[in-house]
Amino acid sequence: MFNLFDKIKPWNFFVFAAISFQILYTLVTPPLQAPDEQNHFYRAYQVANGGFLPERTTNRLGGQIPLCFNEFINPYFYAATNLKYVLYGHETQAANSVAFTDSVTEFKDFPNTAYYSAVSYMPQALGMYIVKQFNCSVSSIYYAGRFAGFLFWLIIMYLVIRIVPVYKWLFTTLILLPMNLYVTNSLSADTVTNCLGFLFIALVLKHVFSEKRIKLNDLLLLLALVLLIVFAKVVYVGLIVLLFLIPANKFKNKSHKYISILSIGAVSLLVILWWSGIIMQNYITYAAYDPAHNFYIGLNSCANYHLQKEYILSHGTYFFTVMYNSIFRHPEQFLMGYIGAFGQSDIAMRGIVYVLAYACLLFLALTESNAFKFSLRQKLIIFGSAALAFVLLLLSQHLLWDCVGEDIVDMVQGRYLIPLFPLLFILCSNSKIKLKYPAAIVVFVLVFVLNGYAARKIYYRFYVESFDKRIEFFCDFEKKDGNELFITTNPEVKIEGGKFQVTDTSYSGKHSAYIMPPSEFHLEYGFQYKFKNLNYGDVVEIEAWEKGTGAYLVISGKGKDCEDFFIPKGSFHPTSQNGWYKFYSIFTMTTKCKSSDVTFFIWNTSRNKIYIDDLKFSIKKYDKPYMN
C-alpha cells in the first residue's frame, strides 16, 4: 500500500482533489456566501462589461448593474446577512431562473470592492463576458464567473506544484486547505491574488535552487508578476524581498543582481504611486457617503483614511502597539480563518479540528524530505518578506477600515494570510529530523477529512433548519374582520390597521395599507401585532413591500426580569419593482430576559405617506441561543 502512495505525484493528486472538492463545495455552498461576495459580483460584472474603473458620483461609488440581478441576489443576501437564515428549494429555484437582461440598470453601491483593479477579476470577468452573450439566466453569469475563476486557479496552482523545487506535498496541502478552496469557489478577488502570490514564490524558489543562470526573460516574468500583485493587492508587494534569496552566481555578477532587484523594486514603487493616486480619488468616508445608500456597503462608520494616517504619523510608537495587539490579542481569529471559517467568517469548525490541522501541517513542514536546504541567511530573508507583507497588510486594513485611533486591527482575516503562510512553514525546514514515510498518506487523510468536515458544516448551515419552534404569518392586506383587524394566514394572528386599507395602489392583489407621517390628527405607526414570551436568542424576521421610504420595523416589550426594551430597525431595500421596494429586517433578542408583553409595529419616520403590502413575519425560537 505504501508503494502505491509513493508513486502518486503531488500535482496529479492536486488536480484530482481540487476538482472533487470544487464539485462538492459547489453543491453545498449557495451563491454569494463568501465575504463581501455580492459586491465582488457587482465589480466582476462591471469589469466584464468593460468598466475597468468604478463609477463615482459626488457621494456614491459603484456602477450601473442590471436590475434583474436583484431577484437573483435576494434570498442569498438574506442568507449571507443572517446566521440562522436557511434556504428553501422554492427560493433558490426562483432565484436561479431569473432571466438576464441589461436593458434596465440601476446604480449599485459597492465602495469596498470598487477599489480593486480589473486584474483581480480578469478570469471571472472573462467567463461572465462569454456567457452573457447568449440567452441566459443571471445565475448562469454568476456560475460562469465562479467556474472561470476556479479554472484559472487550477491551472496556476498546478504549475506552482510542478515548479516549486521544495515542499511539493506541503504546498499541495496548503493549496487544498478548506479556506483556500472556499474562496476559490466564489467570485472573491482573493482567488487571483493567491494565485499570483503562490506563483511568484514558486518561481523565486526555482531560481534559488536551479543550476541555470537567470536570463532577461526570467527577470521580466518576475517583474510582470510583481506588477500584477501590485494591481491585485498592493500589500503583498513585500514578497519582492524574496528576490534576495537568489544567489549572486545566478546573475552576471553581484552588481547585476542588486541592480536587477532594485530596478524591479523601483518600477513597482512607481506603479504603486501611480495606481494609488488614481484609486484614492474615489475614496469616500462613511460619514461623507450618501446616507440613503450606506446600508451594507462594507464601510466602517468611524473609519477615515486621511485622519487615520495623520494619527499614525503624529503618535510615535502607536502603530507598533497596533501591530502587537493585532497579533496577540485574539490570534484565533486569523489562525482559524486560515484553515477555514466560512460564510461571512461566521461558520467555524470545532477547535480540535484546527489544532489537529496545524499539527499535521507542522509535521509535514518538519519532516518532508527535500533535496535542498535553506541556510539561516535565507530563512531570515524569507521571514523578512513575510513580515513586511504582513505589516503592510495591517497598515492597509488600519487605514481603511478601523476607527481613528483604535489600537487594534479587527479585520485580520485568515484568508488574507493564504499567500504568506507557506513562507512561515518553510522556516521549519531542517536536516535533523529524518523520517521515511509516504507524505501522500498524511496529505490524503488531512485534505479529505478537513474538506469533508467543512462541506458538512456548510451544508447544515445553509440548508438544515435548527430552530425548535416557529411562529409565522403572512398578511396581504386583502381581508379584514368586523373589528378592522387584518386577517393573516395564521388563524391565531390578526394585526391592527384595517381602517387604513386602500385600493388606489398595491404591490399584489387589489389592496395595500398605509401609514401617515406624524401629526396631531393621526399616529405615525401601525399594523401592530402583540405577542408574549420573546426570549434571549429568539430571532424575528420581517419582510414586506414598501412604497415610499422611511419605514422602521420596531420590536418593543416589557421584561419580567430586566428593563423594558425598544428595538427600532431601519429597512433595507435589496430590490424594487414598479415603485415598490422590498425591505427585509431581522431582530435578535439580545437582552437576557424573558419578556411578558411584546409589540411589533411599523413606524413612519418620514414626512410622507408610506404604503405597505405583503407583510411576512416570523419568530424562530432555539434550544441554544442564536448568539451561541
3 state SS for 217-271: HHHHHHHHHHHHHHHHCHHHHHHHHHHHHCCHHHCCCHHHHHHHHHHHHHHHHHH
Q: How far apart are the first and last CA of the chain?
A: 44
Judged on CB neighbours under 10 Å (0-12, 13-18, 19+), 302 is middle
Top CATH class, 469-621: mainly beta
**Using one digit for the tens of pLDDT, what is the confidence trace for 298-321?**
888 899 999 999 999 999 899 999
Q: Is the pLDDT of residue 380 over 70?
A: yes
Residue 49 confidence (pLDDT): 95
At 157 the pLDDT is: 98
Rg (Cα) of the chain, in Å, rounded?
A: 27
Helix intervals (H) in 341-473: 351-367, 376-401, 421-426, 439-463
| pLDDT of 627 | 46
Tens-digit pLDDT profile for residues 460-515: 999 988 788 888 899 999 999 989 999 999 998 899 888 899 998 999 999 999 98
Residue type, 393: L
600/251: higher pLDDT: 251
**Average pLDDT of every residue of the chain:** 89
For the chain, give every domain's residue range: 2-462, 469-621
Q: Which one-letter amino acid corresponds to residue 139?
A: S
pLDDT of residue 526 exceeding 90, the answer is no
Helices 254-279 and 216-232 pack at an angle, to 10 degrees, of: 30
How far is it, in rounded angstroms, from Cα 551 to Cα 583? 9
Q: What's residue 6's pLDDT? A: 66
Instruction: Determine if the pTM surpasses 0.85.
Output: yes
Judged against a pLDDT cut of 60, whether residue 105 lies above it is answered with yes
pLDDT number for residue 594: 67
